[in-house]
Amino acid sequence: MLYQTYEEKITPELHKWQQKMQKRPNLVDRTSKAVQDKINNIIPDKVHEVITATIKQMTRAVLTGAEFTTSLPAPKNSLEEIEREVTRRIEFYKKAGAAEGGITGAGGFLLALAEFPILIGIKMKLLFEISALYGHSAEDYRERLFILHVFQLTFSSQKQRQKVFEQIIQWQEKSKELPSDIHQFDWKTFQQEYRDYIDLAKMAQLIPGIGAAVGVIVNYRLLNQLGKTAMNAYRMRWFEERTLQSARRQEQLPSAAQNQ
């Protein structure tokens, strides 16, 4: 049996995820979207208002760095060591989110509405920690923008997911096209559009009468999905950055030889 590096071992999983993000919506996706639209129609207006307000506030808080504390980037370890710790943090947050979801579901409609920002906050806190573990500093708003795109990938329809995925490919190069100052970035327009990309039906545990069991299951499942999405998004960046570094070294070889 040939020895495989960790990077070689996870590459098929990454490629499978990339293909999933880019695939066109199929019959199952379209059927799911139709079901989700029906769920949206029976969600009370009050729930729509709370979700909309929370998503807008979250987007603003993340982009401006006003609320979420940022961890210092972790020391540059091997990808295997990084992902071992990332997996531990995902497991921790899955349990925390499931517990919070159970309390929310058991408390009924009003408590569910009151606790919704906390449920969203848990998910964003996980993404900030994952970003730091992969060595990225969320002090830069462009890294926070990447975090929001990862959140979008998890909570969007397949059609929208394709568009978001295109935005994060070759992020290191694309982020250079963004202004370095958050005040020069039109974050208000981004905030308004961002809400339209989030699928309300993914927040189904807020419907009155669903109960504790579904709150636990939904939060556990969504945090697991969010964690896997984040891992693959940062894996993709890790490989892209290594490819860029290798290309730069190759470019420097001829000039170095000429100087000798």
Q: How far apart are CA 248 and CA 250, in angstroms?
A: 5
Dihedral angle at the C-alpha atoms of 127, 130, 135, 138, nearest 10 degrees?
20
Q: pLDDT of 46-105, one tens digit each? A: 777 877 788 888 888 888 876 676 667 777 789 999 999 999 999 999 888 767 666 555
CB 178 within 8 A of CB 185: yes
Note the pTM of the prediction, 2 decimals. 0.83
pLDDT on residue 214: 57
Structure-block tokens of residue 253: 């070889």
Q: pLDDT of 123-132, one tens digit each? A: 899 999 999 9
Could you tell me the CA-to-CA distances from 260 to 83, 219, 255, 257 in Å, in that order? Answer: 41, 61, 9, 5
Structure-block tokens of residue 208: 């009155």
Give percent of the chain above pLDDT 90: 32
Q: pLDDT of 141-183, one tens digit each? A: 899 999 999 998 988 778 888 988 999 999 999 999 998 888 7
Q: How far apart are CA 154 and CA 175, in angstroms?
A: 21
pLDDT on residue 207: 47
Q: How far apart are CA 160 and CA 199, in angstroms?
A: 10
Q: How far apart are CA 229 and CA 235, in angstroms?
A: 10
User: In terms of pLDDT, which residue wins out, 138 or 87?
Assistant: 87
- Confidence bin at 206 (pLDDT 50/70/90): very low
CB 150 within 8 A of CB 21: no
Structure-block tokens of residue 199: 């699928």
Query: Where are the domains positioned within the chain?
Result: 79-234
Q: How far apart are CA 95 and CA 224, in angstroms?
A: 10
